[in-house]
Chain A
């Protein structure tokens, strides 16, 4: 089964466990500034929203790369940056409509979510299930179930 990261911002408390888990997985340090998933704070609305690469099927970052440094991981479907190939030209960061590919001045390469090879650390660390890793063909299943439940109770009334 192909899986996707699924984000439900309504469950996010903004604890940043995901950012720490991501940075620890990729750099060996707890360092939110190196996290590939970011939690945004919409203070006046009282909302926290985690955001990361959605792994587009037709990936503009991949198509834009002049040196073919972004490859598809066949097992997970993740678009993965090959550090050995990336020249840090940043064209992919311009191509990505969502801003989820970013350049790191420390490494001289771009970085983006690689789904941790199929076991995303962010989803594992999230204490509220705001971030889950689920069947990519059925990311709407839980929302469907909630609406289905409402339909049912309405019918009884």
Chain B
């Protein structure tokens, strides 16, 4: 079974908490986490709803393998209509919160309405209560977590909360759990803020015991762990270097977006790479990196724990930042660094700490700073307008803008609206490096043709985690494809997108798929869950989830015309390196992609497709 079969429904308008049975018919079709929460969301809200209104709902969902001994089985997803994008948002987080929610006996929490005053949700097994959070409003994620642990006299409490960015409805505000693990993208933190919900604090002592076939599950989980340990990426590369292992690799391919995608190679990449994090600093003789740490149940342990340089200008008078903390991961290092031309590792870590502390997505924040710096470079934005000089490469500007955005001060309020709204406001919408309003992550869609298509078609706006074509185009997993080539990419992307939707619905981490195939994942799901979870059934479920999300987005108002990339990626060739001369040729791939998906030439699922998938 693996599900607890219970949903906690919170109505903030009424101040009520109630328990209801999980819809097991839906669980059989959507498994859990991303898929099942999306099914609940699309069934319960109007796709046209204002994401920051009380009519939007926000769902925190675990998967059936969350809280089990399956490696990486600690994930949860936050599903809502995203304020940054206006489409479905599904942000996935690790850490320890998801497993704790499961141990308390809940598969998911559905939050609706809006509280008249700030509150937090406290859960201790069956007991769920809304408590006043007036004193917590205005405080950071870090101090909220510390306060709640003290207040409830429970050091083992797991907390998921928003900082000031979420309260201020920064459109890329994140929800942060366990201090530095985040449901980061699409502005899910702003939705929480709009509902006056500061935090969810949970303690569970029930455990997960209802595994369908426990013996088979332990065998499958153990076999899976062995595969992860013996794989070069998950057994060595990620534990040693973290996701930052990518920085030099992607840069050398000419695929590292630099200075708001003006360039594809960053001359400072080496200085902000995994290798640099391992080197001893000249100032204090210590390496930036302290240790690698794992999320719940994870035998990969890619997480970086670092210690900032106490003598760096950003923190020299702020000892509260001197301790070890999370970062830098590749996406943050890229967005805060390369995207702005900043090569100061310590400055990146400071901005990253602020993103964790006050709950902001470092990808969208950093990429928006890139747009600000380009507008400044072009003379469209002035020092007077911003309040400081912001040339490309300025570490000081990066740090100051992070503080201003997190706290909602001055120009930070405009920056906090994301690059799409910011560039439109200053008359240069084409300079916003976004798809469906969401900023690109750390791979150039021109240099990797498959990633270009993945960005254009992602159901949550530009995203690397919906179909990670980098895996094939860079690493050769499961097979090496030429990043310059468009042929065959639509078919591969569809397969990646559907399989990823399965992983995202199970409670497992998508990073396992550097080593695991469905042959490793399927036996773990089948042993844990009753029902037919054959590979065919799972992959069809992945396709069902993809189409469910697509249908919601179409009803929300997007069309096939939104499946595109900014003009810079379509028309301005890469200037240097291995990708020199390339542009994103999505026009060559999109018709085939729609056709493979069983969609009309306008990108709408046909009646036959919907019927085949049981939608």
- List A15-39 residues whose CB lies under 8 Å from chain B: 15-17, 20-21, 23-24, 27-34
Q: How many A-B residue pairs have CB under 8 A?
A: 88
| B291, CB-defined interface residue at 8 Å | yes
Task: Point out the residues of chain B lying under 8 angstroms from A127, CB to CB.
Answer: 71, 225, 229, 299, 301
Indicate if the CB atoms of B67 and A43 lie closer than 8 Å: no
| A137, CB-defined interface residue at 8 Å | no
Indicate if the CB atoms of A30 and B208 lie closer than 8 Å: yes
Indicate if the CB atoms of B207 and A17 lie closer than 8 Å: no
| B292, CB-defined interface residue at 8 Å | yes
Given A45-B324, A46-B290, A127-B229, CB of A17 within 8 Å of CB of B69: yes
Indicate if the CB atoms of B207 and A33 lie closer than 8 Å: yes
Indicate if the CB atoms of A30 and B209 lie closer than 8 Å: yes
Return the chain A residue nearest B156 by Cβ. A33
Indicate if the CB atoms of B207 and A34 lie closer than 8 Å: yes
| B455, CB-defined interface residue at 8 Å | no
Given A29-B208, A31-B206, CB of A15 within 8 Å of CB of B325: no
Q: Could you tell me the distance in whole angstroms from the C-beta of B610 to the nearest C-beta in chain A?
A: 38
Indicate if the CB atoms of B291 and A24 lie closer than 8 Å: no
| B297, CB-defined interface residue at 8 Å | yes
Tell me, in angstroms, the Cα distance from A25 to B536 when the chains sit together.
Answer: 34
Given A15-B301, A43-B323, CB of A33 within 8 Å of CB of B205: yes
Tell me, in angstroms, the Cα distance from A16 to B301 when the chains sit together.
Answer: 11
Indicate if the CB atoms of B207 and A44 lie closer than 8 Å: no
Indicate if the CB atoms of A15 and B323 lie closer than 8 Å: no
Task: Point out the residues of chain A lying under 8 angstroms from B179, CB to CB.
Answer: 43
Indicate if the CB atoms of A15 and B207 lie closer than 8 Å: no
Q: Mark B278-304, 1 if CB is under 8 A from A, else 0.
A: 000000000000111111111101000
Tell me, in angstroms, the Cα distance from A23 to B99 when the chains sit together.
Answer: 14
Task: Point out the residues of chain B lying under 8 angstroms from A14, CB to CB.
Answer: 293-294
Return the chain A residue nearest B306 by Cβ. A46
| A76, CB-defined interface residue at 8 Å | no
Instruction: Output the residue of B156, B206, B207, B290 with the most chain A CB within 10 A.
Output: B207
Indicate if the CB atoms of A34 and B205 lie closer than 8 Å: yes
| A54, CB-defined interface residue at 8 Å | no
Q: Could you tell me the distance in whole angstroms from the C-beta of B289 to the nearest C-beta in chain A?
A: 9
Task: Point out the residues of chain A lying under 8 angstroms from B445, CB to CB.
Answer: none
Indicate if the CB atoms of A15 and B299 lie closer than 8 Å: yes
Indicate if the CB atoms of A15 and B298 lie closer than 8 Å: yes
Task: Point out the residues of chain A lying under 8 angstroms from B299, CB to CB.
Answer: 15, 17, 127
Q: Could you tell me the distance in whole angstroms from the C-beta of A135 to the nearest C-beta in chain B?
A: 24
Indicate if the CB atoms of A44 and B323 lie closer than 8 Å: yes
Tell me, in angstroms, the Cα distance from A34 to B229 when the chains sit together.
Answer: 27
| A71, CB-defined interface residue at 8 Å | no
Task: Point out the residues of chain A lying under 8 angstroms from B209, CB to CB.
Answer: 27-31
Tell me, in angstroms, the Cα distance from A125 to B206 when the chains sit together.
Answer: 21
Return the chain B residue nearest A42 by Cβ. B324
Given A13-B292, A127-B229, CB of A23 within 8 Å of CB of B207: yes
Task: Point out the residues of chain A lying under 8 angstroms from B293, CB to CB.
Answer: 13-14, 46, 48
Given A34-B205, A127-B229, CB of A43 within 8 Å of CB of B296: no
Tell me, in angstroms, the Cα distance from A21 to B207 when the chains sit together.
Answer: 12
Q: Mark A97-140, 1 if CB is under 8 A from B, else 0.
A: 00000000000000000000000000001011000000000000
| A47, CB-defined interface residue at 8 Å | yes
Q: Mark B189-211, 1 if CB is under 8 A from A, else 0.
A: 00000000000000011111100
Tell me, in angstroms, the Cα distance from A46 to B204 when the chains sit together.
Answer: 25
| B103, CB-defined interface residue at 8 Å | yes
Task: Point out the residues of chain A lying under 8 angstroms from B68, CB to CB.
Answer: 20, 30
Task: Point out the residues of chain A lying under 8 angstroms from B229, CB to CB.
Answer: 127
Indicate if the CB atoms of A44 and B205 lie closer than 8 Å: no
Task: Point out the residues of chain B lying under 8 angstroms from A29, CB to CB.
Answer: 206-209
| B57, CB-defined interface residue at 8 Å | no
Given A15-B297, A16-B297, CB of A46 within 8 Å of CB of B307: yes
Q: Could you tell me the distance in whole angstroms from the C-beta of B62 to the nearest C-beta in chain A?
A: 13
Tell me, in angstroms, the Cα distance from A27 to B299 when the chains sit together.
Answer: 23
Task: Point out the residues of chain A lying under 8 angstroms from B204, CB to CB.
Answer: 33
Return the chain A residue nearest B239 by Cβ. A13
Indicate if the CB atoms of B207 and A27 lie closer than 8 Å: yes
Tell me, in angstroms, the Cα distance from A89 to B179 when the chains sit together.
Answer: 38
Q: Could you tell me the distance in whole angstroms from the C-beta of B297 to the nearest C-beta in chain A?
A: 6
Indicate if the CB atoms of B206 and A46 lie closer than 8 Å: no
| B42, CB-defined interface residue at 8 Å | no
Tell me, in angstroms, the Cα distance from A61 to B296 when the chains sit together.
Answer: 32
- List B549-589 residues whose CB lies under 8 Å from chain A: none
Q: Could you tell me the distance in whole angstroms from the C-beta of B57 to the nearest C-beta in chain A?
A: 29
Counting from the closest, the 5 A-B pairs by CB-CB distance are A31-B207, A29-B209, A46-B324, A44-B323, A46-B290
User: Can you show 15 pairs from A to B with CB atoms below 8 A apart?
Assistant: A15-B294, A15-B295, A20-B297, A28-B214, A29-B207, A30-B69, A31-B205, A33-B103, A34-B207, A43-B323, A45-B323, A46-B306, A46-B325, A125-B69, A127-B229
**Additional pairs, 15, CB under 8 Å, beyond known A15-B299, A34-B207, A47-B291:** A15-B298, A16-B296, A17-B71, A20-B69, A27-B209, A28-B214, A30-B208, A33-B207, A43-B325, A44-B325, A46-B290, A46-B291, A125-B69, A127-B225, A127-B301
